[in-house]
Amino acid sequence: MSDHNTPVGERLPPDRKHLRVAVANPLHEESYRRIMEREPRVTLLVDPSLLPPIRHRADFSGDPAFRRTPEQQRKFEALLDSADVLLGIPDVDPTALARTVRSNPRLRWVHTTSAGGGQQVGKAGLSPSHLRRVTFTTSAGVHGSPLSEFVVLGVLSGAKDVPRLMRLKSRRQWSERWMSRQISRQKVLILGFGGIGRAVARSLSALGMSVTATSRRAGAEHPDVDRFVSIDEVHDVVGDMDAIVCALPGTGLTERFVDERLLARVKRGVTFVNVGRGSVVDESALVAALEEGRVGFAALDVFEVEPLPATSPLWALPNVLISPHTAALAADEEAAVAELFADNATRLLDGHALVNVVDTVEFY
């Protein structure tokens, strides 16, 4: 066990002067230093030998081939059960999270290293009393910049007909000239206006697009959004849009929101980009819309089933860009997660509200 995280072995005093944090997902040593420099009242409990080896930056799940011995598993669970806080969901496994919450009555905060950690909390099947005792937060927002860049790639690819250009290139064919679409004259609808949606709006607005976004809050305003609509109004406005960007979380309310009925109302040739959750889209309906040309181009980072099966018709469609759920990855992602966690730790210790708190009704 690293000497910078020697456990104090006692419960926190009532005045919350320190936090004992068990590191449940693998991080680089520099992330541990970053957290302690930003919030020295944190004591990190971490034994690297109990965590899967890191394969690359922001590899919060680690090597899937890693297995603990029974003795290592007992040590790992004992470490988790001695903490006030978990940094990460153990083994990125809802079952392991449920075990820890039930076994550790002192636990009061779990920070997930992913933006969509609320889904994992929901799958843990925790009781109402556990959900009241423990606060869950996510890393939402740290992925906004790279995901918005992927969205820009998708919107530009659709407007400039990149599949056509690639097809002509493969044939070595110099075709007649044609008019491409100018995105500064286009309208985009952003489904979901959390951290990712806001970053997308900022990028697309800067390119001159007219931005419409969904909001649950009546009278919502934002400098990068021309107008807000409710989810119930989406079917009424979608036909005016040149591009649709999905940044919705995966919940019971959003499951297959983009379905055959919605896609039947889109403007022919619309560009569709999904950086939210695969469960939000009925893939069969999307495939049909792509084959018919109702959706002219799709850039997809998430899917109903991951990895995307080799039998999926999406692989064979020339007007589809497939990213293996990797568009959010960036060199500085882990540092951003560490800083967000440290800032939230300061908030907790100083008695302020945490940011990115999971909704324990819809789990996002």
Angle subtended by helix axes 333-349 and 29-38, to nearest 10? 30
**DSSP characters for 132-195?**
HHSEEE--TTTTHHHHHHHHHHHHHHHHTTHHHHHHHHHHT------PPP-GGG-EEEEE--SH
Contact 88, 113 (CB under 8 A): yes
**Of 4, 325, 347, 352, catalytic:** 325
Q: What is the DSSP letter of 281?
A: B
154: nearest Cα among 303, 194, 146: 146
Compute CA distances 323 → 233, 273, 328, 329, 357, whole Å.
Answer: 30, 11, 10, 11, 28
Q: Which residue among 74, 277, 347, 352 is the active-site one?
A: 277
Q: What is the DSSP letter of 52?
A: P
Is 325 among the catalytic positions?
yes
Helices (H), the chain: 29-38, 70-80, 94-103, 117-123, 128-133, 144-159, 162-171, 195-206, 234-237, 260-263, 283-292, 333-349
With CA atoms as reference, report the closest residue to 41 among 333, 343, 337: 343
Burial letters 54-84, b for 16+ CB under 10 A, else e: beeebbbbbeeeeebeeeeeebbbebbbbbb
- Cα angle: 338, vertex 339, 343; to 5 degrees: 120
Catalytic residues: 277, 325
